[in-house]
Amino acid sequence: MSDLEVQAELSDRAARSSQPGRPRRIGAAEGVAGVLALFLVVAAAWPQLLAPGDPLGIDPLSAFQPPTLAHGFGTDESGRDIYTRILHGTQYSLLIGAAATAIGLGLGIVLGTLAGMLGRVVDFTVNRFLEVLFAFPGLLLALLIIVIYGPGVVTATIAVGLSTAPGYARIIRAQLISVRSTAFVEAATVLGRTRWQILLRHILPNTLAPLFVLATLGIGQAIVWAATLSYLGLGAEPPTAEWGAMLSAGRTYITSAWWMSFFPGLFIVLTIVTATVLGRSIDRRMRHA
């Protein structure tokens, strides 16, 4: 192996990690967030384990019951157990959030890579396109897409994903430009490696690592936007056990049956906080790795 190859390899490894330091201990907030994340994942993957009831089963005689030992989160207007519906709805909310984040991140990687690697003309064109998208607030852009293609869970997921893509693309472009000017990329260029070899072997591995943190934070945002669309009647429709749809159904009875809106909203907030705490924790540990 030549000196240039050794330098490229060592620089590549150095760029993959930040300044060395002792790993932080797991704090109380991180521990609680980890437990909540595990609970949410189990609820999404196996809701029957935590809530064996039927989320769509109605019992008119038990309608509008407040939280009791029999119904920990109360019942709704049809006598359905809200705890059961929330636990079974976890899979909808997390799946929508994860799928929307994957769509936005995937499109962002494509646009950001094109802008950061294919010269000034492509960079200028992609940036002008992103500026047009940035002219619309994210949620407004999602609403525009739904107006064109119609409401529904799939449409809402795609709309949320597309509306988050410009932000990811800008971040990826900036990261690519930053990594492209480092010493190990210059060494790889001197060694005669092609642009795509440099991109795949040296640039993308050092660019995509921070995106894991962004994706973790983005899931929380996507869940909020998807719940907002469902609340407006543009996403999941009743009687689907989805948190936003449950909030929408409970707003009519907010003064007489507060628990119908409180507990779905609480789980939305807890999920966002959990994703944020874990994302920031991962970011800090990557910086000290």
CATH of the domain at 241: 1.10.3720.10
Residue 229 covered by a domain: yes
Residue 190 covered by a domain: yes
pLDDT band at 3 (very low <50, low <70, confident <90, very high): very low
Section 73-98 average pLDDT:
92
Q: How many CB atoms lie within 10 A of CB 93?
A: 30
Residue 60 covered by a domain: no
**Spatial contact of 146 and 163, defined as CB atoms under 8 Å apart:** no
Output 40-47 pairs: Cβ under 8 A, ≥24 positions apart. 40/90, 40/94, 40/271, 40/274, 41/94, 43/87, 43/90, 43/91, 44/90, 44/91, 44/94, 44/95, 45/91, 47/87, 47/88, 47/90, 47/91
Residue 139 covered by a domain: yes
pLDDT digits 0-9 by tens, 7-53? 444 344 444 444 444 555 777 888 898 999 999 999 999 999 999 88
pLDDT of residue 231: 86
pLDDT digits 0-9 by tens, 228-264? 888 888 888 778 888 988 998 898 899 999 999 999 9
pLDDT band at 82 (very low <50, low <70, confident <90, very high): very high
The pTM for the full model equals 0.79
Report residue 260 as tokens: 């119908």
Question: Mean pLDDT lowest for which of 4-18, 94-108, 215-229, 267-281?
Answer: 4-18
pLDDT of residue 204: 74
Q: Which are the contacts of 171, defined by CB distance < 8 A and separation ≥ 6?
A: 108, 112, 211, 214
Residue 62 covered by a domain: no
Section 216-239 average pLDDT:
84
Residue 57 covered by a domain: no
Helices assigned H by DSSP within the chain? 3-16, 28-45, 47-50, 82-117, 119-134, 138-149, 153-180, 183-190, 195-198, 204-231, 243-250, 259-287
Q: Which are the contacts of 178, defined by CB distance < 8 A and separation ≥ 6?
A: none
Give residue 90's domain range: 28-48+74-287
Domains: count for the chain: 1
Residue 4 covered by a domain: no
Section 160-188 average pLDDT:
82
pLDDT band at 209 (very low <50, low <70, confident <90, very high): low
Residue 7 covered by a domain: no
Section 101-128 average pLDDT:
86
